[in-house]
Amino acid sequence: MPKPAILALAALLTLTAHAQRNVKIQLLAINDLHGNLEPPSGPAGMVNSTPAGGVEYLATHLARARRTNLHTLVVSSGDLFGASPLLSSLFKDQPTIEAANAFHLDLNALGNHELDHGPAALRTQLRAAKFHFLAANTVLAADPTHTLFPPIAIRSIGGVRIGFIGEILHDAPAIIATNSIKDLRFEEESRVANAAAARLERQGVHTIVLLIHVGGFQRPPRLPDGSLAPIDPNACENFGGEIKDLAPKLSPSIQLVLSAHTHNFYNCEIAGHRVTSAGSYGRLFTRIHLSIGLATGKPLRIEATNEIVTRDVPKDPAQTAILERYRPQVARIASQPAGTIAASFTRTHNPAGESTLGDLIADAELDIMSSPANGSAQIAVMNSGGIRADLTQPTGATNPTPVTFANLYAVQPFGNTLTTHTLTGDQLKRVLEQQFHPGSTNPNIMQISAGFTYTYRINAEPGEHIVAMQLNGRPIAPTDKLRIAASDFLSAGAEGLTVFREATDPTIGPADVDAFVTYIKAHSPATPAPTNRITRLD
């Protein structure tokens, strides 16, 4: 064979071999850490029956996974911090940022809680961050052509390029204080994600990952004894939620969707997309194996597994050093006694949506806001989503259980300010009606203070759910003027309760957690009251 032909054949064989090669890339994903650096306590620190979480253990698991494949990136789908325990929040979440730097976080999609104090505060917090935020659908109100953070990121690793898109839920304004996001706008997720994917494709990037702070949930079946069956972290049973509806709208070029926000774990295949979530609080991480064609840059295979962050591994020394630097400073505040409880107060709702802990918080808010100095409130309301932990008494305890400032802060970690406003009876009814969303059989019921009662039906036409309202046994008339206490978060119209914006004559009170501490000190040992303020008729 002539030498040129031999060279051509060799070149062809080389190209063919090159085309058949692929690169194995590993992604390690977390979501909704919420600054939980220490192992969460109670149910929040379990995956079914397995104790899980704690950044010292998370970092060890991530390091061990990284050693199996040097071509590894660590990513997060939002709420890395915000609504954090005292160990992180007392220091404006710098401990969490340091911890994320130490476990080599590369990218984080913007979550709603990272905006709790507004974009300027967030940028200040991130000065020490070695990782980057992505926010494709969060634009500046003054100039919608500019996003708050870059919409995409491209990472070259192992000879291939991977594109990442970061997004927050488009209805973020419903769950973030209005003043914190007044200069931002949030666009629909699928349209923005698909446009970003097309942009990446034009740049020759064909492996595309969506980090999105939108989620779903598995509905566990009931066992014969009436209890709920354990949920498999790698299942997708009876799946529902916003991400289920969103995934089919995504471009086929987005094959991997790492989701968040609902604090649930799942591992799904939806409309050709692999959709996962690693729960919350660092209790799990998702290990993703990508096999990418070296010549095409396209994913040939995607495998994902949610793995429990067990506490049977050595603690990561770098993380321990970070925690030990901050613990002494927070201990002085956290250990301050706040009172005692005679039984557990939990967020568990009765069939009407009322909880013992919700009643306690609403009573605490009314107690302090009913003074003339704080607006002479007659009713206090509390959003259930703002209650982040339980107050539990050990099983078998016979004496009142002490609670500390740290315990109460864990319940209300947002630092919201209480306000008192005037609403008419008609406006109050319309606020309560806004708890019910069309097509939903699971309203997010606000918790209410003693003396206020109401009755509702879920199965009713819009505007006709509330059957009756009473204050101290007297029916509330549409024209009655009522002084209502709520957090500044709610009074700004968050969670879709926009009628609050019609309120008048505001009076500003103390921070919600301060009111909670004051109340517990004055009413110890606190005992749960009957959950009979809200009545459901169907």
Strand duo 299-308 + 284-293: pairing: antiparallel
Residue 10 has pLDDT above 60, yes or no: no
Q: Residue 3: pLDDT band by 50, 70, 90 thresholds?
A: low
**Model-wide pTM > 0.85:** no
Picking from 51-60, 147-156, 434-443, 482-491, which range would have the lowest pLDDT averaged per residue? Answer: 434-443
pLDDT at 15: 44
Q: SS3 for 304?
A: strand
Q: Residue 13: pLDDT band by 50, 70, 90 thresholds?
A: very low
Q: Domain coordinates of the chain in residue numbers?
A: 20-328, 338-536
- Per-chain mean pLDDT for the chain: 92
DSSP code for 408? H
Residue 493 has pLDDT above 60, yes or no: yes
| Residue with the larger pLDDT of the pair 492 and 127 | 127
| Residue with the larger pLDDT of the pair 437 and 291 | 291
| CA torsion through residues 258, 263, 265, 268, sign | negative
Query: Which residue carries 């809680």 as its tokens?
Result: 113
Q: Helices (H) and strands (E) in the chain — how many of each?
A: 13, 30
Tens digit of each residue's pLDDT (9 = 90 or more) over 421-464 = 999 999 999 999 999 987 666 788 999 999 999 999 999 999 99
Order of strands, sheet of 22-30, starting from the edge strand that comes earlier in the sequence: 132-134, 105-109, 72-76, 22-30, 284-293, 299-308
Q: How many CA atoms lie within 13 A of 8 on its CB side?
A: 5
Could you tell me if 117 and 147 are in contact, meaning their C-beta atoms sit under 8 angstroms apart?
Answer: no
| Structural tokens at position 230 | 């354990």
Q: Residue 1: pLDDT band by 50, 70, 90 thresholds?
A: low
Percent of the chain with pLDDT over 70: 95
Mean predicted confidence (pLDDT) in 486-493: 85
Residue 17 has pLDDT above 70, yes or no: no
User: Topology of domain 338-536, per CATH?
Assistant: 5'-nucleotidase;  domain 2 (3.90.780)
Q: Residue 91: pLDDT band by 50, 70, 90 thresholds?
A: very high
CA distances from 123 to 119, 148, 299, 533 (A): 6, 10, 34, 43
**Rounded distance, CA 105 to CA 267, Å?**
22
Picking from 91-100, 121-130, 331-340, 355-364, which range would have the lowest pLDDT averaged per residue? Answer: 331-340
Tens digit of each residue's pLDDT (9 = 90 or more) over 184-231 = 999 999 999 999 999 999 999 999 999 999 999 998 777 787 667 889
Picking from 236-240, 492-496, 525-529, which range would have the lowest pLDDT averaged per residue? Answer: 492-496
20-328 maps to which CATH number? 3.60.21.10
The long-range contacts involving 453-458, CB below 8 angstroms and separated by at least 24 positions, are 453/532, 453/533, 453/534, 453/535, 454/533, 454/534, 454/535, 455/534, 455/535, 455/536, 455/537, 456/352, 456/432, 456/534, 456/535, 456/536, 456/537, 457/536, 457/537, 457/538, 458/536, 458/538
